[in-house]
Amino acid sequence: MGVKRKRKVIMFDVVGDRAIPKLNKTNCDVSNNVNSLINRWNGRAYTQRFYDILEKRKTLPVWHQKEEFLKALKDNQTLILVGETGSGKTTQIPQFVLETLELESRDKCNKYMIACTQPRRVAAMSVARRVAEEMDVNIGEQVGYSIRFEDCTSSQTVLKYLTDGMLLREAMTDPLLGRYNVIILDEAHERTLSTDVLLGLLKEVQKNRPDLKLVVMSATLEAEKFQGYFCGAPLMKVPGRLHPVEIFYTQKYEDDYVEAAIRTVIQIHTCQPPGDILVFLTGEEEIEDACRKIKKEIGNFGDSVGPALVVPLYSTLPPAMQQKIFDPAPSRLMPNGPAGRKIIVSTNIAETSLTIDGIVYVIDPGLAKRKVYNPRTRVESLIVSPISKASANQRSGRAGRTQPGKCFRLYTEKSFHNGLQSETCPEIQRSNIANTVLTLKKLGIDDLVHFDFMDPPAPETLMRALELLNYLGALDDEGNLTRLGEIISELPLEPQMGKMLVVSPELNCSNEVLSICAMLSVPNCFVRPRKAQKAADEAKARFAHIDGDHLTLLNVYHDYKQNNDDQSWCSENFVNYRVLKSADNVRQQLACIMARFNLKLCSTDLNSRNYYINIKKAMLSGYFMQVAHLERTGNYLTVKDNQVVHLHPSSRLNHKPEWVIYNEHVFTSKDFLRTVTDVRGEWLIDMAPHYFDLVNFPHCEAKRVLEKLYKKKERKADINTKKLSFRVTSGTCILV
């Protein structure tokens, strides 16, 4: 192979007689439900598939410690469980709990459920499907999942996989999480914002609910830290995995990791035995580009190599496209020809939890895009940076799940040991936490400074969040949640977007703003196939609105609806049908929440000159802190923070307005503003005078322009007062 690597240690215990204790009689006994021929959950006879899977399940390492686990759970309120990747934590532990736990409440009035959180949607969905299959029930019935804007559960659901963010949302309406008697926080090592808040919250809830059990799980956890946090909760370790994973390192540093990854894929495909490949890269563009190159290079080999199915995976890919990672590898072209192979190129969303049947090879360049937040500039950016050792172990753990695997790390062994941090820095310390603060306030936690965070956010980050929420009117000057804040907190949107939606009925444009919110909540709807780029650009130009991208999105949505949600209309116009369908669904869900708060759906007359003005004003009411001003130099500067920024090339704005509001400030090759719309300076001081108060304004061109606008406004007000007094004193004269 061109990438020279020395064969390295087998990092994981190879399963042999010694590695996994033999099953003893007690833990061989499966529960009553499994011994019966009838499935207790749906009253139907078990299918053959159930028994087939059961045999495999019984060989998973966690099964050997089933009794021990159940006893520990019975004796303790909180339990920390660390078991290697693929040992059966996510799929088996909730089922063990289900088999033994009394789901009916003591007064027999309620039925309890078990929740198992996942940091990512793909994982929550796929694990729920697998467990439904293992339990021989239909997904959405006894086993379901809940992710933002998609609830696949029913009144029969007893085991729910859900994103940590969704559980947090549930806590807002049910502060004691009364419907659950066991909550499992899975993949706790990821330390996502929501998991960290849940940890603190559940610790509090448990004081009021001694019956609520908590299991914190991961393969790569700083167990002692978690034990310390949970006042000495017992730690259970599950050694062993079903299949070994061999780790290989490169001998020297790879300059171009994308090129090295592609080269390794080709070498595996041409030289290694059958088995699918999972490659980790950092972002959408890089992944799409790598997929193209891999297809092209494999195509160059003709029939001398097996057929390949190359599939991208990243978070903004529509869910249906994400499901393609579970498609089977293509069959051989000829009976004795080389085997087909599936090659998945993914961001770190495939790093934890997922089992993709058939994956044998993992390629890990050791990098990922990580969120970084600078509270001073209020910019959250995604920076490509080295992963942690915990992430590297998770990545290698995607191989060896259904058969032995190999992981090719495109970095040296020395850099693994000396260059990588052992854990990923908690997200709460590198994110904008405005939404989290709002959630905590809604949960009744007023003293945020003393909230029991495992690792608290930086004080400046907390101040920034409080400041934003106060400017929005979601918190009053004492830091208490206002009525507006309560409504915003119920909307599954960022606070600024929530505010614009809540304000929109007053500006008579809630129908349109709701559509814009829905379009902003789904992945990019525009498609640009490589072979039809010109046609796609022309199609996109037809939707373009002169005032900017938000209104362009509104045009797309309106046209889609006017064409009766037609799929062929979508393909003719180079917009993704599934994305628009999902936007429609999001819109309906948001509309239901609006109805709960009596926020009416209304529109200004399309022919009125205020039609677009009202929409833009509503947007500004939420995003007044995200405004940029065009300087005489031709550059945009963000207002107050004075960062030089550029309009993103994807923007449909074909001119440079003096003032723009933006939805996102992203840093890639440059500082870019994405999704921008033209607004007027006068509106800034009319709609958010508390923010555009020039006393606290840094010296800049924007300030001078605003000063003039204030003066103009004062003059106007003076004239109006004079007119009014003239009218009052004269009593007869009517002035316009």
Give the binding-site size for Mg ion (rule: CB under 5 A): 3
Min separation Cβ 185 and Mg ion, Å: 12
**In the complex, least distance from residue 11 CB atom to Mg ion, rounded to whole angstroms:** 18
Whether the CB-CB separation of 79 and 216 falls below 8 Å is answered with yes
Q: What are the backbone dihedrals phi and psi of residue 324, each rounded to the nearest 5 degrees, phi first?
A: -65, -20
Partner that binds at residue 677, options ligand ATP, Mg ion, none, CB closer than 5 to 8 Å by kind: none
- Residue 329 vs 618, nearer CB to ligand ATP: 329
Q: Which helix (H) or strand (E) holds 276?
A: strand 276-280
Q: Which does 219 bind (CB under 5 to 8 A by kind): ligand ATP, Mg ion, none?
A: ligand ATP
Could you identify the residue written with the tokens 């008579």? 508
CB of 186 vs Mg ion, minimal distance in Å: 6
User: Which of 197, 206, 146 lies closest to 172 in space, CA to CA?
Assistant: 197
HSE of 309, CA atoms in CB hemisphere, 13 A: 19
The residue (of 90 and 496) whose beta carbon lies closer to ligand ATP is 90
Of the residues 78, 90, 282, 576, which one makes contact with ligand ATP according to CB under 6 A: 90
Q: Which is nearer to ligand ATP, 342 or 401 (CB)?
A: 401
89 binds ligand ATP (CB under 6 A): yes
Indicate whether 114 belongs to the interface with ligand ATP (CB under 6 A): no
Beta strands in 150-250 (DSSP E): 150-152, 159-163, 180-185, 213-218, 235-238, 245-250
> C-beta of 409: minimal distance to Mg ion in Å?
21
- In the bound state with Mg ion, the residue whose beta carbon lies nearer, of 118 and 675, is 118
How many helices (H) and strands (E) are present in the chain, helices listed first? 26, 22
Q: Which two tokens stand for residue 255?
A: 């300059």
Asked if residue 357 binds ligand ATP (CB under 6 A), the reply is yes
Q: Which residues contact 176 (CB under 8 A, 6 or more apart)?
A: 205, 208, 209, 212
Of 91 and 511, nearer to ligand ATP (C-beta) is: 91
Q: Which residue in 526, 541, 522, 527 sits closest to 581, CA to CA? A: 522
List the structure tokens of 316: 């903004």
401 binds ligand ATP (CB under 6 A): yes
In sequence order, the 6+-apart residues with CB closer than 8 A to the CB of 223 are: 80, 82, 235, 237
The smaller minimum CB distance to Mg ion, of residues 95 and 250, is found at 95
Would you count residue 142 as binding Mg ion (CB under 5 A)? no
Stretch that binds Mg ion, among 204-212, 348-356, 391-399, 501-509 (CB under 5 A): 348-356
**Residue 242 found at the interface with ligand ATP (CB under 6 A):** yes
Task: Decide: is 83 part of the binding site for ligand ATP (CB under 6 A).
Answer: yes
**Torsion, Cα of 550, 551, 552, 553 (10° steps):** 60
434 closest CA partner among 461, 473, 399, 397: 461
Shortest spacing between CB 153 and Mg ion, in angstroms: 20
Task: Answer with the entry of ligand ATP, Mg ion, none that 86 interacts with (C-beta below 5 to 8 A by kind).
Answer: ligand ATP
Residues that bind ligand ATP (rule: CB under 6 A) add up to a total of 20
407 or 516: CB nearest Mg ion: 407
- Per-residue DSSP letters for 403-441? S-EEEEESS-HHIIIIIS-SSPPPGGGSS--HHHHHHHH
The sign of the CA dihedral 408, 414, 416, 420 is negative
Q: Which of residues 21-60 bind ligand ATP (CB under 6 A)?
A: 60
Would you say how long the chain is, in residues? 736
CA 335/CA 338 separation, integer angstroms: 9
Q: Which of 588, 571, 612 is nearest to 521 (CA)?
A: 588
Residue closest to Mg ion (Cβ): 90
353 vs 510 by CB, closer to Mg ion: 353
DSSP H helices, 193-240, are 193-208, 223-229
Enclosing H/E stretch for 147: strand 143-147
Establish if 195 lies at the interface with ligand ATP (CB under 6 A): no
The only residue of 39, 65, 85, 117 in contact with ligand ATP, by rule CB under 6 A: 85
Task: Candidates 198-206, 396-404, 412-420, 472-480: pick the segment binding ligand ATP (CB under 6 A).
Answer: 396-404
Strands 671-679 and 644-647: parallel
Phi-psi region of 675 (alpha: psi -120 to 50; beta: other; left: phi over 0): left
Q: How far apart are CA 401 and CA 415, in angstroms?
A: 26
195 touching Mg ion, by CB under 5 A? no
When the beta carbons of 90 and 582 are compared against Mg ion, the nearer one is 90
* From candidates 79, 219, 454, 497, binder to ligand ATP by CB under 6 A: 219
Partner interacting with residue 94 (select from Mg ion, ligand ATP, none; CB below 5-8 Å by kind): none
Pattern 44-83, Mg ion, x by CB under 5 A: ----------------------------------------
Residue 573 as a binder of Mg ion (CB under 5 A): the answer is: no
Nearest to 645 by CA among 392, 656, 513: 656
CB of 190 to ligand ATP, least distance (A): 11
Looking at the Cβ atoms of 353 and 388, the one nearer to Mg ion is: 353
The answer to whether the CB of 675 falls within 8 A of the CB of 686 is no
Residue 71: CB minimum distance to ligand ATP, A: 20
Residue 548 lies near ligand ATP (rule: CB under 6 A): no
Sheet with 245-250: strands ordered across: 5-10, 245-250, 405-409, 359-364, 276-280, 341-346, 308-313
Measured from the CB atom, is 119 or 340 closer to Mg ion?
119
Binding flag, residue 353, Mg ion (CB under 5 A): yes
Phi, psi of 363, rounded to the nearest 5 degrees = -115, 120
Q: Is 495 in the site for ligand ATP (CB under 6 A)?
A: no
Q: Which does 88 bind (CB under 5 to 8 A by kind): Mg ion, ligand ATP, none?
A: ligand ATP
- Binding status of residue 118 toward Mg ion by CB under 5 A: no
SS3 453: coil
Binding mask 127-156 for ligand ATP (x = CB under 6 A): ---x--------------------------
Place of tokens 């017992």: 234
Q: Which does 195 bind (CB under 5 to 8 A by kind): Mg ion, ligand ATP, none?
A: none
Q: Answer yes or no whether residue 365 interacts with ligand ATP by CB under 6 A.
A: no
Helix (H, G, I), strand (E, B) or coil at 642: coil
Nearer to ligand ATP, 100 or 610 (CB): 100
CA 623 to chain CA mean position, Å: 22
Residue closer to Mg ion, measured from CB, 90 or 642: 90
Asked if 90 touches Mg ion (CB under 5 A), the answer is yes
- Quick check: helix, strand or coil at residue 77? coil
Rounded to whole angstroms, how far apart are CA atoms 205 and 366? 38
Decide: is 355 part of the binding site for ligand ATP (CB under 6 A).
yes
Instruction: Using alpha carbons, select from 262, 277, 347 the residue that is nearest to residue 313.
Output: 347
Residue span binding ligand ATP (CB under 6 A) among the ranges 5-13, 79-87, 147-155, 702-710: 79-87
For Mg ion, the binding residues (CB under 5 A) are 89-90, 353
Chain contacts with ligand ATP (rule: CB under 6 A)? 60, 83, 85-92, 130, 219, 242, 352-353, 355, 357, 397, 401-402
